[in-house]
A and B are shown apart, each in its own frame.
Chain A
Amino acid sequence: ETGVTQTPRHLVMGMTNKKSLKCEQHLGHNAMYWYKQSAKKPLELMFVYNFKEQTENNSVPSRFSPECPNSSHLFLHLHTLQPEDSALYLCASSQEYPFDEQFFGPGTRLTVL
């Protein structure tokens, strides 16, 4: 595997389900990010982890819970989501936050029924 990988690529869940999104970067980077991108809307930064420590949380509802066990892995735990949470969730990584370019994974297309 190379670059930034995300699983699953597609996810359909009910509002009462609990699921997790996984991101792994194979680039040796120190910073990882979660973004949300809704249809025809700009990228919304959700969380930033730098050297495994959360450095930014942009007022994200508590139904989204991030976890960063090491510099290569990032999870986004989902529970009791709303239909408006349906979006493309993108993971990214960079060597150094916030000065370096970010490399994005392919994203997880989430649909909440």
Chain B
Amino acid sequence: QKEVEQNSGPLSVPEGAIASLNCTYSDQGSQSFFWYRQYSGKSPELIMFIYSNGDKEDGRFTAQLNKASQYVSLLIRDSQPSDSATYLCAVTSGTYKYIFGTGTRLKVLA
């Protein structure tokens, strides 16, 4: 089992819809959770981080963390074609390692 798992996609959503991206992790002791966006040919950039169970909202983005079920998700409301990118989940594990998932490619269709 991979330490941090994401569906590679592509996930296609129409413009204006909600995009839901999911990430599961294997280490119950994981402490910090991050979402990055990476446009093709560019470097990753941080979108959000979350440490506590529940939801955290920032503009059109909402991160959701459920430690009991060991998943973290990212919701993008009112998706725009400019949101088309690969979204990377990263986790600080209980063994104090920073681990990236393989990423989910999102395509927002105009």
Contact = CB atoms under 8 A, between A and B. Distances in A.
Interface string A98-113: 1111111111000000
A90 B92 contact: no
B31 A99 contact: yes
Contacts of B92: 98-99
Interface residues of B, number: 20
A43 B31 contact: no
Contact of B46 (A42, A99, A101): A101
A90 B43 contact: yes
A104 B47 CA distance: 13
Interface in A34-81: 42-43, 45, 56
Interface residues of A, number: 17
A73 to B, nearest CB: 18
Contacts of A101: 34, 46, 49
A90 B90 CA distance: 16
B32 A106 contact: no
A56 B91 CA distance: 16
13 contacts: A42-B103, A43-B88, A98-B96, A98-B97, A98-B98, A99-B92, A101-B34, A102-B46, A102-B98, A103-B46, A105-B43, A106-B42, A107-B43
Interface of B: 31-32, 34, 42-46, 49, 88, 90, 92-93, 96-98, 100-103
